[in-house]
Structures are given as C-alpha cells and as structure tokens.
Amino acid sequence: MKLITKLWIGIAALVILSPLGLILPGYFKAGSAWGEWGADEIQKLTGYVPGGLAKFASLWNAPLPDYAFRGWEEKGLGHLSLAYIVSAAAGILIVVIIMLLLARILVKK
C-alpha cells in the first residue's frame, strides 16, 4: 500500500475516534479550555461580563458551533458524538479542498 493511502487511513481513524475529545472531558468533569468561556461562564467565574467581551463574543455565528448541529445542544452524548464525527469529516474535506486549491496556485508543475 502506498504511504499516502496509509496516512489517509490514519486520518479516517482519527475522525472516527474524535468523539473521545468530547466524551473524555465530560467523563472527567473538565470544563472549557482556559480563556474560551462563554459569557455566562465568565459571569459565574468573575461575577461580571466585561463590556467589550459582551459586545464581541457573539460577533460570528458559525454554522456548526462547537462542532455540533444547531439545536442539538440538549441531545445526548450519542447525538453529539455523531455531530462531532460529521464535523471532523466536513472540516477535513474543506481544509483539503482549500489546500489543493492553494497548491494549484503556489506549486509549479
């Protein structure tokens, strides 16, 4: 098998395993990454929401916020894991398309 094929199989395995990045933090009761809290979490931590943060925090409405589908926030871990895998696959597809387009511009034949 060609090395590139093996490496892509490795990437596919990582996509399927990716929900570990969702499940393990939940299991060990770990919260957000430091400095990546939402406004409500900051309110709890510091007792107030900084003015500029309140203004800019929801500047951008990502189509798949936190690697999940909109409206699935209350669904169980199974649904969220599925959304996580779909997000990983979709993200990789777009990353690869952009890289190949860039390569067409940058790399000489």
Partner 1 sequence: MHIPDGYLGPATCGIFYVIMLPIWTAASRIVKRTLKARQVPVLAIGAAFSFVIMMFNVPIPGGTTGHAVGGVIVAILLGPWAACIAITVALVVQALLFGDGGITALGANCFNMAFVLPFVGYYLYKAISYNAPVDSKRRVIAAGAAGYIGINMAALLTGIEFGLQPLLHHTASGQALYCPYGLKVAVLTMAGEHLLIFGWVEAIVTALVVKYLQKQSPGLIGGREVAQ
**Residue 77 in contact with partner 1, rule: CB under 8 A:** no
Instruction: Give the integer Cα–Cα distance in Å for 18 and 1.
Output: 25
The residue from 40, 41, 61, 77 that contacts partner 1 (CB under 8 A) is: 61
Determine the length of the chain: 109
Binding of residue 40 to partner 1 (CB under 8 A): no
79, 82, 86, 91: which one contacts partner 1 (CB under 8 A)?
91
What is d(CA 87, CA 65) in angstroms, rounded to the nearest whole number?
10
Which one, 6 or 76, has the nearer CB to partner 1? 6
CA-based angle 66:33:78, to the nearest 5?
45
CA dihedral 77, 79, 81, 84 (to 10 degrees): -130
Identify the DSSP state of 59.
S
Q: How far is the CB of 74 from partner 1 (least distance, A)?
A: 18
Q: Which residues bind partner 1 (CB under 8 A)?
A: 3-4, 6-8, 11, 14-15, 17-18, 20-22, 24-25, 27-36, 42, 46, 48, 50-67, 84, 87-88, 90-92, 94-96, 98-100, 102-103, 106-109
